[in-house]
C-alpha cells in the first residue's frame, strides 16, 4: 500500500541526503542514529503516557529509514551489509514502538485488551518481516500484504498521536486493524511461498 509512494518520497529526501553526504555523514551512521533515537523515544515517552509528544518527535527520526537508503544509492555504497543492518535495526525499532505502547496500556486499569493488541501487533510485525526473509532465502519473492512496515508506522503513530490528543479510541482501532492485517499478511505470504514450492515440485516431477 504505502510502499508504492516511496519513489515520490525519495525525490523529496534526495537533497538532504546529498547534503549529509557532503558533510561526510555515512548511511550507516544515519541508520544507527535513527534507530537508537526511535528506541529511546518509544521506551521513555510511551510508557510515561507522553503519547502525542513521543509520536511527533519520533516521526522526525522515522524519516531516516528512507534517508539512509537514498544516501547509500547516491554515494554508490549500497551493499549487502547495509541492507542487512537496515533490516535488522528496523526490527528493533518496531519492537520498541509497539512494546512501548504495550507498556503504556499495561499501566492503565482495565486496558488488558489494548495491551494484548499492542503485543499482537508487535508479534505479527516481526513474523511478517521474517516470512519475507525466509521466503526469499528459498528463492521465492514475497511482496504481498496489507501491513507493510510503512503502513504499520503510519497507522501506529497516527493512532498514538490522536489518542494522546484525547481521541482515546484511535490507537486501539489502529492496533486492532494492524493485528488483523498482520495475520492476513502472514497468511498471504505463506500461501505465496507454498504455491511457488508446489509449482516447483510439479515442474520437477514432469522433468523426470
**Residue the block writes with cell 534526495:** 14
Is position 28 annotated as part of the catalytic site? no
CA dihedral 169, 170, 173, 176 (to 10 degrees): -110
- CA 128, 181, 162 angle in degrees (round to 5)? 110
Of 28, 65, 90, 94, which residue is the catalytic one? 90
Cα 156 from Cα 173, distance rounded (Å):
10
Long-range contacts of the stretch 104-112 (C-beta < 8 A, 24+):
104/46, 104/47, 104/49, 104/51, 107/47, 107/49
Cα 199 from Cα 136, distance rounded (Å):
16
Q: Which residues are known to be catalytic?
A: 90
Amino acid at each position: 500500500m504505502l510502499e508504492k509512494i516511496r519513489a515520490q518520497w525519495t525525490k523529496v529526501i534526495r537533497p538532504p541526503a546529498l547534503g549529509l553526504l557532503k558533510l561526510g555523514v555515512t548511511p550507516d551512521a544515519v541508520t544507527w542514529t535513527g534507530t537508537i533515537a526511535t528506541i529511546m523515544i518509544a521506551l521513555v515517552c510511551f510508557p510515561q503516557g507522553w503519547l502525542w509528544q513521543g509520536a511527533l518527535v519520533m516521526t522526525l527520526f522515522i524519516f531516516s529509514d528512507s534517508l539512509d537508503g537514498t544516501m547509500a544509492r547516491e554515494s554508490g555504497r549500497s551493499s549487502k551489509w547495509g541492507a542487512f543492518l537496515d533490516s535488522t535495526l528496523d526490527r528493533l525499532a518496531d519492537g520498541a514502538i509497539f512494546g512501548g505502547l504495550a507498556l503504556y496500556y499495561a499501566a492503565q486499569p482495565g486496558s488488558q485488551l489494548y495491551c494484548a493488541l499492542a503485543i499482537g501487533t508487535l508479534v505479527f510485525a516481526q513474523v511478517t518481516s521474517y516470512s519475507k526473509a525466509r521466503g526469499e532465502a528459498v528463492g521465492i519473492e514475497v511482496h504481498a500484504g496489507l501491513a507493510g512496515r510503512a503502513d504499520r508506522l503510519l497507522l501506529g503513530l497516527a493512532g498514538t498521536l490522536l489518542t494522546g490528543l484525547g481521541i482515546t479510541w484511535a490507537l486501539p482501532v489502529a492496533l486492532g486493524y494492524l493485528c488483523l492485517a498482520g495475520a492476513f499478511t502472514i497468511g498471504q505470504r505463506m500461501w505465496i511461498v507454498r504455491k511457488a514450492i508446489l509449482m516447483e515440485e510439479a515442474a520437477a516431477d514432469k522433468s523426470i
